[in-house]
Structure 1
């Protein structure tokens, strides 16, 4: 789902540089990134199908608990320990609040609106990250990336089209979800390096489960026993989500960010194809144009940032990246 774009970053100990064979490693990383994005698109499709048959809060609770158990076990088996005290760090608490808001808004947007529109709006995340880093983290952003941000927001307006017959209220929920994701990732940049990505991911799934419980309680949703088909879909949903996350992490570790960044937008292609095949959606020309603008602008922003981070600096190590 939405938070699967970067559940833990990947940051901290999960991140590493590209391998020694350069192009070969980047090709494998691009393939893994594409497979990861396909996994996320299938996960979103299953979430939409499940939300039609089961209470949304229950779906969030089950998927969140399953992810928390899997990643919590992984962290424990790595030998680093779960360190529950890390969960009380105010940054982690704020991050998990963003996760909870994102989970409720995005899954509700999937349940009540078009998969293709929600997925397209989600692709604005890198642009919001660049904007947030400039406004709140004092990172320099040059005119090229400012133009990409403006272009991306124009693409969002082409998709949402407020005040027209094409407007879907679910689009507003998708926008809130992506804002919550951007806030989550900005908070993650400020967390102490000792708080590992595995722990953050496990706690994020826990926040998702908590959000589901709150949604079910406030909405008066009654829990139901999943039948065999629904249980299989829930299992597949968790599998696609975790598999997509693992592929994304490996891709980020072995490939250069600038080389694999454009392949993040393959998720949008898979989502549109699945929306058409499974739900009979037919995105109009404005929606497709807006999605294309967002993908191009976001891909450029990520490529530009990766290029600037790799540029030799005359300042001291650890100084700010040059604007661009």
Structure 2
């Protein structure tokens, strides 16, 4: 229950951070957003932990996870710069728990029965409903986000593996740190505008960096406390938050195909959780 509580709070915080960066991206660009996320996030984590607990144990896995997560961040920021609504991007990300179910088979040695495989297939049918040619998500940005979602599912699994060896502060700190060199590498491709950002933008950036640091600290701790099957359904909460925030700030309203497809994906994920609980109860008996 502690793990579920932490992950729910983390997703609420990260949704607010995503809304903040989507709002400031036109004024700072993708590369500077990543640099600001990394520098502010590292500073906040250093203050929270008093500079302790940052030495990694599993350096290779931690580095691979951090680098791949930076690529996911860049894909999301690129999609938002190209006017993809917040809720639409979260709708694509709803496929993450389904992908985690499949990846847990080779990476964690979990067994997935025919019922969970069938519901997972129905969930991916929901993804196809969202991405159909007549829907609002029929665009190249959605395919990029879908690829990033596959990578994000892998990083979620790796977070669970890293929680066995490394502290939550270590995992979160090096994720923030990786965003700085990645942002510097992207500067020639995505240079920031020549005009200095306003005071409101600077405040939004401070919130964005701090919120990311706190949220990923909560995520790392949550994955150490609870199994993936218990936490996966809460991957859907940003979609609900995103509908409300997107409407309030940008007057964004998801298409009916997006809502229908996301509903299929969410129902499939919730059913998978139910089957996982049944399986674990049988094992205990």
Does the CA-based 8 Å contact 1:108-1:173 persist in structure 2? no
Aligned to 2:178: 207
Does the CA-based 8 Å contact 1:48-1:107 persist in structure 2? yes
- Higher share of residues assigned helix: 2
Aligned length: 284
Aligned to 1:284: 255
SS at match of 2:187: helix
Aligned to 1:123: 94
Q: Does 1:60 align with 2:34?
A: yes
Change (3 A) 1:209 1:302: farther
1:250-292 superposed Cα distances (whole Å, 9 cap, x missing partner): 7778889877764442321110111122112221111110111
1:87-108 superposed Cα distances (whole Å, 9 cap, x missing partner): 7x22222112211211111111
Relative to structure 2, which stretch is displaced further, 48-57 or 187-196?
A: 187-196
Residues in 2 aligned to 1:266 and 1:39: alpha-carbon distance in whole angstroms: 11
Change (3 A) 1:183 1:105: same
Gaps of 5+ in 2: none
Residues in 2 aligned to 1:248 and 1:195: alpha-carbon distance in whole angstroms: 13
SS at match of 2:124: helix
Deviation at 1:209, TM superposition (A): 2.5
Residues in 2 aligned to 1:97 and 1:258: alpha-carbon distance in whole angstroms: 25
Does the CA-based 8 Å contact 2:176-2:213 persist in structure 1? no
Change (3 A) 1:59 1:42: same
1:163-202 aligned within 5 A: 166-191=137-162, 193-202=164-173
Does the CA-based 8 Å contact 2:87-2:246 persist in structure 1? yes
Quick one: which of 61, 69, 74 aligns to 1:99?
A: 69
Residues in 1 aligned to 2:162 and 2:13: alpha-carbon distance in whole angstroms: 28
Change (3 A) 1:295 1:215: same
Q: CA RMSD in A?
A: 3.2
Change (3 A) 1:169 1:266: same
Deviation at 1:182, TM superposition (A): 1.5
Change (3 A) 1:208 1:311: farther
Gaps of 5+ in 1: 1-17, 19-24, 315-324
